[in-house]
Chain A
């Protein structure tokens, strides 16, 4: 018979990897909210949105070991869906005349519109996954690239509905630091529960050894399809948040540069663990922010100097390559945040 304190400790130990990520994030939000300047607060919100996106990406890429270049697609689908429902009621009939009447002539309330957009992203991921998850790892990766290009071509040219490659401006901006934090926590919790579920364990087994996993009765196809769909929902949520944080949506912000940055975050932190995804976002966000400031110019000892524009991208790419060469499993190397002693116990379990 376990006492209450025992079960409390057990729960604590179970949730520790989540707390170890969420609590520092909450502290960052509180501290920057109190003492930080406006630009730092903006960076923090962007970081939290990136966490939703990269954790979403991690749900598929990290657990399956298959790189996806296509997740920006599902973000774009959700972001555009949300724009169609909530943006600029007065202008919509003119700028997006091709929309069906129920969207063109009215706005949908924010919460239902967000839910619908996220569901749409998930549905798109499911349909894409039905086809692509039939392929082996590398072919699947390249096909996700095909998906990214298909969506980019379609949305860039479907002028009457997406305004082509122009930006849709005037989405309601309701994303605050606390909302972004809430969504980041939600993403982390879902990803954590998923990776410990039977589905999550199955797909992690396929990542380690496809043949052995298949021989143990795991369906590569279904386990990957489930992860791909869930991950589509989550990046869709990220897309909605980003759209309603920036207030604008533009198809070119969901293309290769963005895909690179999201993957860089995941790889630098280490795509093998949830903690890696979150740590990667924090590290890359800080780096990008520092170099963005240096590029815009700072004064040292009364003298103004600035790095040439574009240095930031070079440094991020070089940093990612260095990580791949010297620490190829990323900063966290596939580990979650654990209590001292806990990891030892798990190692003992594996070895014993």
Chain B
């Protein structure tokens, strides 16, 4: 019994992490039809900001050496600044391009950033120890939950609630949802396009920074591709959730995270390495049944 609860905790923790990343992707997609590959590099660069750029595999800490509050603030500032920078330099000039062009440009931005990190930090994985106190397990009702997982769940739940409140209750949040619904119309009704798009990027950076901290605490390693898998999972999450739908993105993220943990647990040991393939196969099967995704928005169909 406790074992099943344990698996469920794992599933919820990973699911909510993917939901966060999927929301970051979904927000930006909503306001400018951009599927942002560079989200992976926001996460990676946020984590690499913790250490001093060297070729060493156990580098001295940079932001990671600060007290936790400053460290968290520092990483978030770095990632938000990066997200805004990519928006200003690469994506704003392309704003009126078609979604395929935007997709390709974000692929190029991502490739650029990834190679930039490689140039500065070298390509070798590095170890970094932050938040060691969280390694201890907490016992709740007979179930031992690792501190990191508890933290992940609390942080993601907190961020999800904050995001929902922001989108539902604040004027800017409402404008952002209106932009996701119908950008042209919202603009005609006075929505400040630049500000709303920049804000969407800033939020995606904020979520990216949170994810990079959580991932680094969980794994204790830095890797050039550490942001890649969460973001790829998030892509598929937004597709099965229904492109352009924020609840869909969160739901999709949750589903792929849960599916991934369940496969990891219940697949026979010699099939476990194929877990990701299994999840992606499921994504394609879901799309076979519901090509528009689980939650269909009016924005999904191109207007004539």
Contact = CB atoms under 8 A, between A and B. Distances in A.
Interface of A: 65-67, 131-132, 134-139, 141-143, 145-147, 149-150, 153-154, 156-157, 210-211, 257, 260, 263-264, 267, 308-311, 313-314, 317-318, 320-321, 324-325, 328
Contacts of B112: 313-314, 317-318, 321
Contact of B291 (A65, A138, A139, A260): A139
A66 B100 contact: yes
Contacts of A320: 104, 108
B66 interface: no
Nearest to A128: B284
Contacts of A135: 287, 291
Interface string B98-122: 1111011101110110011011000
B232 interface: yes
Interface in B244-279: 273-277
A251 to B, nearest CB: 13
Interface residues of B, number: 45
Interface string B31-60: 001010000000000000000000000000
Nearest to A207: B100
A145 B90 CA distance: 22
Nearest to A211: B304
A321 B109 contact: yes
Contact of A150 (B115, B243, B281): B281
Contacts of B287: 131, 134-135, 139, 143
B235 A138 contact: no
Nearest to B244: A138
A263 B101 CA distance: 11
A134 B284 CA distance: 11
Nearest to A146: B280
B283 interface: yes
A65 B238 CA distance: 21
Contacts of A137: 99-100
B97 interface: yes
Contacts of A132: 284
Contacts of B111: 257, 260, 313, 317
A267 B105 CA distance: 10
A313 B115 CA distance: 7
Given A150-B277, A154-B274, A325-B93, A310 B104 contact: no
Contacts of B183: none
A165 to B, nearest CB: 11
Interface string B8-40: 000000000000000000000000010100000
B139 interface: no
A308 B116 CA distance: 11
B288 interface: yes
Contacts of A257: 111
Contacts of B118: 310
A143 B94 contact: no
A324 B104 contact: yes
Binding site secondary structure of chain A:
helix
A141 B284 contact: no
Contacts of B243: 138-139
Contacts of A147: 280, 284
Contacts of A321: 90, 105, 108-109, 112
B178 interface: no
Contact of B107 (A143, A150, A260): A260
Nearest to B116: A314
A324 B95 CA distance: 11
B288 A134 contact: yes
B293 interface: yes
Contacts of B304: 211
Nearest to A321: B108
Given A138-B243, A142-B235, A142-B239, A153 B277 contact: yes
Given A157-B274, A260-B111, A310-B115, A145 B281 contact: no
A143 B302 contact: no
B201 interface: no
Contact of A153 (B99, B101, B238, B273): B273
B155 to A, nearest CB: 27
Nearest to B232: A149
A146 B302 contact: no
A289 B97 CA distance: 31
Contacts of B35: 138, 141-142
Given A314-B115, A318-B112, 16 more contacts: A65-B100, A131-B287, A135-B287, A136-B302, A138-B103, A139-B293, A143-B239, A149-B276, A149-B277, A153-B275, A153-B276, A264-B108, A313-B111, A314-B116, A321-B112, A328-B101
Given A138-B103, A317-B108, A325 B94 contact: yes
Contacts of A154: 274, 277
Contact of B236 (A142, A210, A309, A325): A142
A14 B243 CA distance: 43
A311 B108 contact: no
A143 B273 contact: no
